[in-house]
């Protein structure tokens, strides 16, 4: 009987250890031989192959003819892959610690939450750090972080003649809800907003930032301003002046006539 072992463990034969492999033994027909696979540190026993199959360990072999048997082992997961998230999004595998064997290639996926963008992977041995769907090779303890960020967009605030707006032009993160107010000047009135706002008819409303946005407050002169007391007074004064001028002209013509 020849007994062999992979280099990740040894085989004890009838409670003794061979000095080398393959280990040839000459045994009588019908002899019972106990084999026990002993994995090295960090390894586990897989199975027997050759003239013995299965994973029973230890196992007894009954001799009936020549046999060749090999014990197979594999290394336990020797490295830790730590997955992390910076910003707001989800990843596969989820954030946490995972054990892998040396050389394992792990699929990793990043998906940003609404209003966020994927900015890349940080860490070593990521196949494509800029791709949201890529792989990482685990050949040592690794920390891999998916980086998400919120884009900044510009809110441009404008007003037609006759009023002002608040706030002024500023930059905001995507998803920000901004309070906006239109204030007409004296003698003017607010006519409504141009642009994507919550309620275009209200002087005070909100706008939700999702892209570069321009909002315009529209104003027009109030009719009341056209007929205010100063205006009416001016009209009256002008009318009186015209009447007085006419009277003077008439009297002058009469004077020359007589």
Per residue in 174-200, pLDDT (tens digit) is: 889 999 999 999 999 999 999 999 999
Q: Could you give the strand order of the β-sheet that contains 89-92, starting from the edge strand earlier in sequence?
A: 89-92, 104-112, 133-138
Q: Is residue 242 part of a domain?
A: no
| Among 75, 106, 130, residue at a domain's last position | 75
- Per DSSP, the three-state class of 141 is coil
If asked whether residues 98 and 40 sit together in one domain, one would say: no
- Cα 205 to Cα 193: distance, rounded to the nearest angstrom: 10
146 pLDDT above the threshold of 80: yes
Q: How far is CA 253 from CA 1, 11, 240, 246, in A?
A: 153, 144, 20, 11
107 pLDDT above the threshold of 90: yes
State residue 114's pLDDT score.
86
Q: Over the chain, what is the mean pLDDT?
A: 86
Q: Is residue 126 part of a domain?
A: yes
- Higher-confidence residue of 161 and 8: namely 161
Local structure of residue 80 (DSSP, 8 states): E
| H or E element at residue 244 | helix 229-257
Q: Is residue 58 part of a domain?
A: yes
State residue 200's pLDDT score.
96
CA-based Rg of the chain, rounded to a whole angstrom?
45
- Cα 241 to Cα 233: distance, rounded to the nearest angstrom: 12
Of 198, 218, 210, 202, the C-alpha closest to 157 is: 218
Percentages of the chain per state (helix, strand, coil), in multiples of 5: 15, 50, 35
Residue-wise pLDDT for 25-42, tens only, equals: 677 778 888 989 988 877
Long-range contacts of 20-23 (CB under 8 A, 24+ apart): 22/68
| Among 75, 105, 137, residue at a domain's last position | 75
- Cα 174 to Cα 159: distance, rounded to the nearest angstrom: 24
Residues in Cβ contact with 135 at an 8 Å cutoff, skipping those fewer than 6 apart: 105, 106, 107, 108, 126, 127
- Cα 169 to Cα 176: distance, rounded to the nearest angstrom: 14
- Cα 165 to Cα 183: distance, rounded to the nearest angstrom: 6
Q: What is the mean pLDDT of residues 120-133?
A: 95
Question: What range defines the domain where residue 160 resides?
Answer: 152-222
State residue 134's pLDDT score.
97
Q: Is residue 254 part of a domain?
A: no
State residue 15's pLDDT score.
78
| Among 149, 172, 188, residue at a domain's last position | 149
If asked whether residues 47 and 60 sit together in one domain, one would say: yes
If asked whether residues 214 and 166 sit together in one domain, one would say: yes
- Cα 235 to Cα 237: distance, rounded to the nearest angstrom: 5
Residue 89: exposed, middle, or buried by beta-carbon count in 10 A (0-12, 13-18, 19+)? buried
Contact 90, 146 (CB under 8 A): no
Q: What is the mean pLDDT of residues 143-152?
A: 94
If asked whether residues 14 and 45 sit together in one domain, one would say: yes
State residue 127's pLDDT score.
96
State residue 241's pLDDT score.
66
Residue-wise pLDDT for 213-253, tens only, equals: 999 999 999 876 555 556 556 666 666 766 767 766 656 66
Parallel, antiparallel or unpaired: strands 163-166 and 32-39: unpaired
State residue 228's pLDDT score.
53
The b-or-e profile of 139-171 (16+ CB within 10 A means b, else e) is beebebbbbbbbbebebebebeebbebeeeeee
Show the 3-state SS of 174-226.
Answer: CCCEEEEEEEECCCEEEEEEECCCCCCCCCEEEEECCCCEEEEEEEEECHHHH
pLDDT tier at 85, thresholds 50, 70, 90: very high
pLDDT tier at 204, thresholds 50, 70, 90: very high
The total domain count for the chain is: 3
């Amino acid at each position: 009987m020849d007994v062999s072992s992979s280099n990740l463990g040894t085989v004890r034969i009838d409670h003794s250890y061979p000095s080398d492999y393959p280990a040839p033994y000459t045994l009588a027909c019908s002899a019972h031989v106990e084999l026990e696979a002993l994995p090295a540190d960090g390894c586990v026993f897989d199975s027997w192959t050759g003239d013995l199959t299965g994973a029973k360990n230890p196992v007894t072999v009954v001799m009936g003819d020549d046999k060749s048997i090999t014990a197979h082992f594999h290394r336990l997961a020797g490295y830790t892959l730590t997955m992390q998230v910076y910003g707001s999004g989800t990843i596969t595998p989820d954030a946490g610690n995972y054990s892998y064997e040396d050389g394992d290639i792990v699929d990793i996926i990043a998906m940003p939450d609404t209003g966020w963008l994927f900015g890349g992977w940080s860490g070593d041995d990521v196949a494509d750090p800029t791709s949201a769907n890529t792989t990482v090779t685990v050949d040592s303890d690794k920390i891999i972080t998916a980086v998400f960020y919120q884009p900044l967009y510009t809110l441009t605030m404008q007003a037609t003649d006759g009023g002002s707006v608040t706030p002024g032009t500023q930059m905001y993160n995507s998803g920000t809800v901004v309070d906006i107010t239109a204030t007409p000047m004296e003698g003017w009135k607010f006519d409504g907003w141009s642009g994507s706002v919550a309620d275009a008819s209200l002087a005070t409303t909100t706008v939700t930032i999702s892209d570069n946005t321009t909002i315009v407050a529209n104003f027009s002169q109030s009719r009341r301003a056209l007929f205010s007391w100063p205006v009416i007074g001016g009209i009256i004064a002008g009318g009186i002046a015209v009447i007085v001028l006419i009277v003077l002209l008439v009297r002058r013509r009469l004077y020359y006539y007589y």
